[in-house]
Amino acid sequence: MSIAVLLADDQPLLRMGFRMILDAQPDMTVAGEAADGDEAVERAAALAPDVVLMDVRMPGTDGIEATRRIVASGSRTRVLILTTFDLDEYAFAGLRAGAGGFLLKDAPPDDLLSGIRAVAAGDAVVAPSVTRRLLDAYAHRLPDGHAPATRAARLDPLTEREREVLLAVAGGLSNAEIAARLVVSEATVKTHVGRILTKLGLRDRVQAVILAYETGLVQASQR
């Protein structure tokens, strides 16, 4: 089945470039375009695309708020944030708002395409190495109103093995890499990840990574 993508960016030339890349793929179609956050929310509701390729900085309602609204609507649409890491500290806020992942704007076309496919398939960690750098830079700026002990208690439902898997996920490892590290099958890792998400009431791997940082499971020496 074809992956329907909504392009949300305030720069027409960038949207045109993304459209040309996506239109050349046999498994993707461009469902529509949006020039700002409000339009992105409206078009996502009307078109129900599989993925919204969302710029962060747009006039009026930005990509963060647009992402939050799309996710809050209960739509099956997933959001892939586009950011410039060196300048844009709002990318992490986008993940907290419910984005399925993020890419740098200067990512090679192949990375963009694989990222869209990954997010459409429900794999939230698009670029693990970049994820780690972004989390390292901004996780400490994200107060959630809870004492450290209270935050850590959120992990109490997990078994020791599930904590190991969560720590590996937070380190940006793929299921195959986690399986090799723990000497188990990839299917076993997938089962562990699914149980972690269920026990902690999380939507996807990105939320799991965020929680690992917020609860202190990932320590400074491990980053």
pLDDT in tens, 42-59: 999 999 999 999 998 898
Q: For residue 147, what pLDDT is reported?
A: 46
C-alpha 70/C-alpha 45 separation (Å) is 8
If you average pLDDT over every residue of the chain, what do you get? 83
Contacts of 206 (CB under 8 A, 6+ apart): 95, 99, 100, 101, 124, 125
Sorted by where each starts, the structural domains of the chain and their CATH numbers stand as 3-138 (3.40.50.2300), 145-222 (3.40.50.2300)
C-alpha 163/C-alpha 182 separation (Å) is 12
Counting as low any pLDDT under 70, the low residues of the chain are 85-92, 124-151, 219-223
Question: What predicted TM-score, i.e. pTM, was given to this entire model?
Answer: 0.69
Q: For residue 223, what pLDDT is reported?
A: 44
Q: For residue 143, what pLDDT is reported?
A: 46
